[in-house]
A and B are shown apart, each in its own frame.
Chain A
Amino acid sequence: MLEIRNLSKSFQGLQVFSGIDLTVEDRPGEKSPLIGVIGPNGAGKTTLFNIFTGYAKADGGSVIFDGKELLGKKPHEIVRAGLTRTFQSTLAFRQLTVKENVLVAAYLHEDFSFLERFIYPLVSLKLTQKKTRDAQERAEKVLSMVGMLDDMDMVSGNLPYGKQKKLGIAMGLATEPKLLALDEPAAGLNPHETAETMELLQEINRGGTAVLVIEHNMKLIMTACERIYVLSGGRIIAEGLPQEIAKNERVIEVYLGKGMTAHA
């Protein structure tokens, strides 16, 4: 589904990473992959996401998604191709309610023809009713999945931080991605919310959406993910099952040797 090959990136001559390979497999008929990316702060995890979602340019390498090259594509084209991401910080339309936010994502991410864009909504509601109804249904499904039906009518700007992060995931889901890429969905959350988020990721994944998640919290990622990539010093230093990663000496060195705890 997603094949990152030999990807490299530098900022003003300073190498962030090089030779990055990362795969999210297509497994039709089987459980969708749930894959983790970990690494110390500044390792380049967000930069990696930025590159394959159209927010930053790569120096070299390729990113194939569903057989098509993603490098050079714009963010909205990548969303429409079926790869949606969330950001480390919360991002929503702060004046709108939770439901409206999800509706925006459910409704507007599609490609509209000129007629659909300008004329149909003016002359007849019927012609847009199907799209609207579909979007409504999808929004409600997504909200029930993330457990936010009760907060549906809250203005999103007034939500507590934990719920704002959840809303970000809900908006991503509403665009119906094949692959959902999450940048530290649990950062800044309390332990209870963190556990909830991990359960949510697993539920999304069981629903048939592939998930690629950046996470700082080792324990969390160990329990949820089936495979983990460790990014450090500009390289993938380890890749494998959670139990293999937990025993990997270089990983332990990076994570524990430098004074970081497993809960960092």
Chain B
Amino acid sequence: MDIVLQQAANGLVLGMSYALVATGLTLVFGVLRMMNLSHGELYMLGAYILSALMQYLGLPYVVGCVLSVLLVALIGYFFGMTVVQPASHLEPINAMLATFGVSTLLSNLVLLIFKATPRMVSSPFQVVFQIGPVFLTIQKLIVVGMGLLLNLGVYLVIHHTTFGKMIWAISEQRTAAEIVGIDTKRMHNLAFTMGAVLAAISGVLVSALYSLAPNMGSGIMTKCFAIVVLGGLGSIPGAIIGGLLLGLAESLFTIIIPSQWTPAIAFVLLIVLLILKPEGLIGKSKGVKL
């Protein structure tokens, strides 16, 4: 029983980190109507830039986190403006391929600079404590807390702010949004950057829990695909529920199956859901009303 509780707690932490990455992905999809294949690399960059800042500049963890997220925001904004935004006028498949290019560029750049050796980041919050039979660290609590906070924040921004309404208008009918005077390019770039920031935050938080590798981006992306399909493409609550579900499932199943099988769980879940409920767990969000 204790091991089940422990694995459930671990699953919650893992799931929240998935949820954060998936929310960014689904947000960008909701706005650009395009799968951003470089999303996982932005997550990986968040972790790698943090590790470099700590190792080479000797920055403390928290400062490194903030700087790394800011840098990834800049990088995201840059690629959003130079690659994604121009490509968004093309066929969705071309735009998606453009983001695949960014993804390849970034992961190979990191491989070139940092080599493939796994890296670790140490956080001052790795203090272990115990609740009943479950061992946790402050870091894990931070992941869960930040996950909840950020997802709630994104939800509020999208559904209850003027920015959210503009974003919705653009995703719904781009030309109509333009002729009523919305700066569609700027909103696109902002939304893409928001996605990058979410990915980076997840990256810096998780870097203290799991080891880093240049291919960690593609690893989490395959999971995020499963999550956003589970939760309904473009739905933020769906991304959270899907993320938690997958984290819990992966964690709990390691009790009964060897852990090298965990990557398959995402796809088993996905296949089962697609058979039972092809529209996703909670369906597509209805959008924003004024």
B166 on the interface (CB 8 Å rule)?
yes
Check B176 against A122 for contact (C-beta < 8 Å). Answer: no
Residue among B162, B172, B176, B177 with most chain A CB within 10 A: B162
Check A108 against B286 for contact (C-beta < 8 Å). Answer: no
From A37-45, A98-106, A240-248, give the one contacting chain B: A98-106
Could you give, for residues 3-28 of chain B, a 1 whenever the CB lies within 8 Å of some chain A CB and a 0 otherwise? 00000000000000000000000000
Shortest A74–chain B CB gap in Å is: 7
Given contacts A93-B169, A94-B173, A121-B161, are A175 and B180 in contact (CB under 8 A)?
Answer: yes
Could you give, for residues 170-209 of chain B, a 1 whenever the CB lies within 8 Å of some chain A CB and a 0 otherwise? 0011011111111111000000000000000000000000
B115 on the interface (CB 8 Å rule)?
no
A209 on the interface (CB 8 Å rule)?
no
Check B180 against A108 for contact (C-beta < 8 Å). Answer: yes
Name the interface residues of A158-195: CB closer than 8 Å to any CB of B.
171-172, 174-175
How distant is the Cα of A217 from the Cα of B37 in the complex, in angstroms?
50
How distant is the Cα of A85 from the Cα of B290 in the complex, in angstroms?
23
Shortest A175–chain B CB gap in Å is: 6
Check B181 against A76 for contact (C-beta < 8 Å). Answer: yes
Check B176 against A93 for contact (C-beta < 8 Å). Answer: yes
Name the interface residues of A95-122: CB closer than 8 Å to any CB of B.
95-96, 100, 103-105, 107-110, 112, 116-118, 121-122
A76 partner residues in chain B, CB cutoff 8 A: 178, 181-184
Residue among B161, B162, B177, B179 with most chain A CB within 10 A: B179
A91 on the interface (CB 8 Å rule)?
yes
Check B172 against A93 for contact (C-beta < 8 Å). Answer: yes
With beta carbons under 8 angstroms apart, the residue of A103, A122, A172 that contacts B290 is: A103
How distant is the Cα of A145 from the Cα of B176 in the complex, in angstroms?
21
B287 on the interface (CB 8 Å rule)?
yes
Check B173 against A122 for contact (C-beta < 8 Å). Answer: no
**CB<8 Å pairs between A and B, sample of 9:** A76-B181, A76-B182, A91-B176, A92-B173, A105-B180, A108-B162, A108-B169, A118-B163, A121-B160
Residues of chain A at the chain B interface (Cβ within 8 Å): 53, 74-77, 79-80, 84-87, 91-96, 100, 103-105, 107-110, 112, 116-118, 121-122, 128, 171-172, 174-175
